[in-house]
Chains A and B, each alone.
Chain A
Amino acid sequence: TTGGSTGGGDWDGTILVGTTDKVTTLDPAGSYDNGSLTVQTQVFPYLVNTDYNSTEVVPDLAETAEFTSPTEYTVTLPAGLKWANGHDLTSSDVKFSFDRNIAIADPNGASSLLYNLDSVETPDDTTVVFHLKTENDQIFPLILTSFPGAIVDEEVFSADAVTPDEDIVAANAFGGPYMITSYDFNNTIQYEPNPNYAGLLPAAENKTVIQTVFADSSNLKLAVQEGDIDVAYRSLSPTDLDDLAGNSDVQVIDGPGGEIRYMVFNFDTMPFGAKTAEADPAKAQAVRQAMAALLDRQAIADQVYKGTYTPLFSVVPDGFFGATQPFLDKYGDGSGGPDADQAAKILADAGIQTPVSLSIQYNSDDHYGPSSGDEYAMVKDQLEADGLFTVDLQSTEWVQYSKDRTTDVYPIYQLGWFPDYSDADNYLSPFFQEDNFLGNHFSDAEVQDLIRQQAVETDESARQAEIEQIQDRMSDLISTLPLLQGAQVAVAGADVNGVVLDASFKFRYAPVVKG
């Protein structure tokens, strides 16, 4: 499908977006990564969504969306919806989308997020009923705004396999604010507004968007600096951002970030861990707390990340519903700085001989950005500064790292997290529930109860209290030691307006205009 004109003067309203996020595939059933999600957000409809600068889940494609019983989430669609290619968009497409996602269960897909979905029922063309496994799941609507929530055209997509990008583009099977009019895999994507889009969000204000994938952030930086592109979104290096901040040709736009960086403790193998020779849970906890007292997160954020990350003082990042900062109050000098005396005291009270030897592992090949090495060099430096710890810092390449970390090879190690949906729960359930992905042998009945409870709590303030309680307890137990929270940053030309970075963590192209 070629179309549109290539004439020179026609580019005026075009917005050029650059990113370093690669696209795995256009098909929502086959991807679980930010690059793909950014594209899918523009071109596929979602039943519910969050409006700009809001975290409240509201109907998008849907007319209404609500719990009609504790295990039934019912969505009604307006009549007469169309895909960009003219096919009818009905409840059948919706059911098809979720059923295929679960059926395909692609290794690269996010079908695992639909863990609570039992079945989808379509009483009529405009009604969809989601039958859930547990009652009152407050998380399910949030998941519908995210990876597995995209609705696809059942006449184009395959029911049992990931559909190739070229087929999707060729069939113009889009229903979001945009449709793709030119697609060069992992190079350029051209979007034009979808005339048939009838969702919640305002229609696109620009005529054309061209998204270019850059491999290297410094090239992205030069491109935006030179005006070759209008917006650079994810991921400019701290150095680049620092440099651009002083450049009047561009504007640096910040938004809340959901990305966090933290250390994980293996409760079996860390010093005094359950499987070590001198196993002692209390001493192990003292070690973790002493480490927390010695960190200077601000220094790392400033030196390594030039302010693109901010200190993180809780397992739930700042800006989320219910987030608190228990680490700030409990450890260090009270204002985020380190407190060696406190650390020494914690260790001494627990009867621990200093220095304590720690082995800390981090990932070497840019999985969490190129600055991990610098970050952990500083962590090591800070922990060793007062002679309380000696740190053996090592790194491993990603695939091996992933295997090793769940097989108890690393006593203390680095991880990062980017949320699947924007809710505090996404920082709790996956981490501290029974079968959490960390697999670090942490288990605490009280925390687990609380997590289960907040997930089905329909009363907001009660839920907030529960979430705060979990954070407080985790700051004592310290299964993970939060370090930094990332901001979303976009750099745009001085004449670009409408770049909104909000807690949805989706950069939506529709409102972006030039001039």
Chain B
Amino acid sequence: MTAATVPAAPAAPSAPRRRPRPAGGSLGRYILVRFLLIFPTVFILVTLVFLFMRTTGDPITAALGGRLPADQLAERIHEAGYDRPLIVQYVEYLGHVFTGDFGRTLTDNQLVTDVLFRYGGATLELALYALLVAFAVGIPLGMLAAYFRDRWPDAVFRVFAILCYATPVFFAGLVLKLVFAVWLGVLPSSGRAGPRNEIALGRLENPTGVYLIDAIRLGDPAILGDVLQHAVLPAIALGLLTAGIFLRLVRTNVIGTFAMPYVDAARSRGVSEYRLVRRHAWKPALIPIITVIGLQVALLLGGAVLTETTFEWKGLGFELAQYLQARDFVAVQGIVALLAVIVAVVNFLVDIAAALIDPRVRY
């Protein structure tokens, strides 16, 4: 989604026709260029976060500011090297990162790579569940809304969509919890599995961190059921948010492509309305939708922080909020770098997918 790849605005219809751009620029090169763009993105974010974090204090003050006399605190900070010039620390940090050493977290002595792996799986799992809900709800309803355009089902679906994304995830979470966990008591309110099952899952050799997979590997249907039960409320809370956006997007794009001349052209050949929606409007509409799904990743990760907090889903977003508060900049930088890589890679993949669907995109 970098601007460099946004095709120039189409010429006004009345302008004389332009020859198609001279051929050239293979898909391979396009992919390469898109891929290389990941690096500056990640670099910029990590740098920004480094600067931000370092101007906001250090983990020692965060942990012990309420216990130690000022001079002892200063001494500890000095020993840890946090009072050296920022640029020195930054270069040092970059040096470590370049050699693949993300270090250990400052506040709890964990390998950052471990943290990323352990919590990354959880966030990934939550995001996938949410996407699933979003697809299952957003796309069919969006197509229906487009089909019933400006009639009452359209209004109902659209207001539903707006409500979905007008409701903050944490409020949705609270309400879901209130209803399903407190009042009805039918679903677990928090966590990714019951404590016993957590232990069982934790004992697995080489756990993936994605409990669904781990539970299947354990082969115990009770544990699998428990894991799935725990996923229901978080997936709905986060999924509906995205579903609302998908719904709106699908509707807009299907209506938009429906107005394209080639749809009229197909209609003029006697192609049925159903087929027009399924074949002619849908696939081109998919291209902008896919692109936006790329952007949704950032949203999902942001929403994940809140969902994870609300539902005790120990994932990256949740940990990030904790580490932020503790000023553990090594951990924060590691997580931010990973998130940035994820977002950049997903957007990269999305662009590639869009390029594959749309034969015109070749750079």
Instruction: Determine whether A and B are in direct contact in the complex, meaning some CB atoms lie less than 8 angstroms apart.
Output: yes
Identify the A interface with B (CB < 8 A).
2, 4, 6, 8, 11, 14, 16, 18, 22-25, 27, 30, 32-33, 105, 107-108, 112, 162, 164-165, 182-188, 190, 210, 212, 214-216, 219, 222-223, 226, 228-229, 365, 367, 398-403, 405-407, 415-417, 430, 435-437, 439
Report chain A residues within 8 Å CB of B60. 107-108
- The reply to whether A402 and B62 form a contact with Cβ atoms under 8 Å apart is yes
Report chain A residues within 8 Å CB of B61. 399, 402-403
B88 within 8 A of A: no
- The reply to whether A437 and B67 form a contact with Cβ atoms under 8 Å apart is yes
A25 and B109 CA atoms in complex are apart in Å by 7
A32 and B63 CA atoms in complex are apart in Å by 9
Tell me which of B26-34, B133-141, B183-191, B282-290 binds A.
Answer: B183-191
Interface residues of B in 91-123 (CB under 8 A from A): 104, 106-111, 114, 118
- The reply to whether A437 and B198 form a contact with Cβ atoms under 8 Å apart is no
- The reply to whether B64 and A108 form a contact with Cβ atoms under 8 Å apart is yes
Which of A11, A14, A398, A403: most chain B CB closer than 10 A?
Answer: A398
Given A24-B109, A108-B60, A226-B185, A182 and B67 contact (CB-CB distance below 8 Å): no
A190 and B201 CA atoms in complex are apart in Å by 12
- The reply to whether B80 and A112 form a contact with Cβ atoms under 8 Å apart is no
A430 and B61 CA atoms in complex are apart in Å by 17
- The reply to whether A186 and B196 form a contact with Cβ atoms under 8 Å apart is no
| Chain B proximity of A431: nearest CB distance (Å) | 11
A214 and B190 CA atoms in complex are apart in Å by 9
Report chain A residues within 8 Å CB of B7. none
- The reply to whether B195 and A398 form a contact with Cβ atoms under 8 Å apart is no
- The reply to whether A188 and B202 form a contact with Cβ atoms under 8 Å apart is yes
Report chain A residues within 8 Å CB of B71. 435
A241 and B314 CA atoms in complex are apart in Å by 24
- The reply to whether B67 and A190 form a contact with Cβ atoms under 8 Å apart is no
A403 and B74 CA atoms in complex are apart in Å by 10
| Chain B proximity of A400: nearest CB distance (Å) | 7
A219 and B65 CA atoms in complex are apart in Å by 28
B307 within 8 A of A: no
Which of A4, A6, A219, A406 contacts B190, CB < 8 Å? A219
- The reply to whether A2 and B190 form a contact with Cβ atoms under 8 Å apart is no
B66 within 8 A of A: yes
- The reply to whether B199 and A210 form a contact with Cβ atoms under 8 Å apart is yes
* Contact sample, A vs B, 20 pairs, CB 8 Å cutoff: A11-B196, A25-B109, A27-B109, A32-B64, A182-B199, A183-B202, A215-B312, A215-B314, A216-B190, A226-B185, A365-B325, A398-B62, A399-B61, A403-B65, A406-B69, A406-B70, A407-B70, A417-B66, A437-B69, A437-B70
- The reply to whether A107 and B69 form a contact with Cβ atoms under 8 Å apart is no
- New A-B pairs, 13, CB < 8 Å, besides A187-B314, A212-B198, A222-B177: A23-B108, A24-B109, A105-B76, A108-B106, A185-B108, A185-B114, A188-B195, A215-B312, A226-B189, A228-B195, A398-B65, A399-B57, A435-B69
- The reply to whether B205 and A2 form a contact with Cβ atoms under 8 Å apart is yes
B153 within 8 A of A: no
Q: What are the 3 tightest A-B residue pairs by CB atom distance, in nearest-first order? A: A402-B65, A399-B57, A219-B190
A223 and B80 CA atoms in complex are apart in Å by 40
| Chain B proximity of A244: nearest CB distance (Å) | 13
Report chain B residues within 8 Å CB of A439. 69-70
A403 and B104 CA atoms in complex are apart in Å by 25
Interface string of B40-59 (1 = CB under 8 A from A): 00000000000000001111
A459 and B106 CA atoms in complex are apart in Å by 44
Report chain B residues within 8 Å CB of A190. 199
Which of B73, B79, B189, B310: most chain A CB closer than 10 A?
Answer: B189
Question: Number of residue pairs across A and B with beta carbons under 8 Å?
Answer: 155
Report chain B residues within 8 Å CB of A186. 108, 314
Which of B65, B70, B182 contacts A222, CB < 8 Å? B182
A236 and B186 CA atoms in complex are apart in Å by 23
| Chain A proximity of B172: nearest CB distance (Å) | 16
CB nearest neighbor in B for A437: B69
- The reply to whether B67 and A32 form a contact with Cβ atoms under 8 Å apart is yes
- The reply to whether A105 and B63 form a contact with Cβ atoms under 8 Å apart is no
CB nearest neighbor in A for B319: A186
- The reply to whether A25 and B108 form a contact with Cβ atoms under 8 Å apart is yes
| Chain A proximity of B126: nearest CB distance (Å) | 14
- The reply to whether B107 and A24 form a contact with Cβ atoms under 8 Å apart is yes
Report chain A residues within 8 Å CB of B312. 214-216, 219
Report chain B residues within 8 Å CB of A405. 65
Which of A107, A186, A216, A223: most chain B CB closer than 10 A?
Answer: A107
Given A107-B60, A437-B69, A16 and B195 contact (CB-CB distance below 8 Å): yes
Report chain A residues within 8 Å CB of B185. 226
A398 and B61 CA atoms in complex are apart in Å by 9
B5 within 8 A of A: no
Which of A24, A33, A112 contacts B72, CB < 8 Å? A112
B181 within 8 A of A: yes
A415 and B68 CA atoms in complex are apart in Å by 12
Given A186-B314, A222-B190, A399-B65, A107 and B76 contact (CB-CB distance below 8 Å): yes
A23 and B189 CA atoms in complex are apart in Å by 23
CB nearest neighbor in B for A189: B199
Report chain B residues within 8 Å CB of A215. 309, 312, 314, 318, 322
B18 within 8 A of A: no
Which of B67, B109, B325 contacts A398, CB < 8 Å? B325
- The reply to whether B63 and A108 form a contact with Cβ atoms under 8 Å apart is yes
- The reply to whether B67 and A219 form a contact with Cβ atoms under 8 Å apart is no
- The reply to whether A400 and B57 form a contact with Cβ atoms under 8 Å apart is yes
- The reply to whether B66 and A415 form a contact with Cβ atoms under 8 Å apart is yes
Interface residues of B in 187-230 (CB under 8 A from A): 188-191, 194-196, 198-200, 202-203, 205, 222
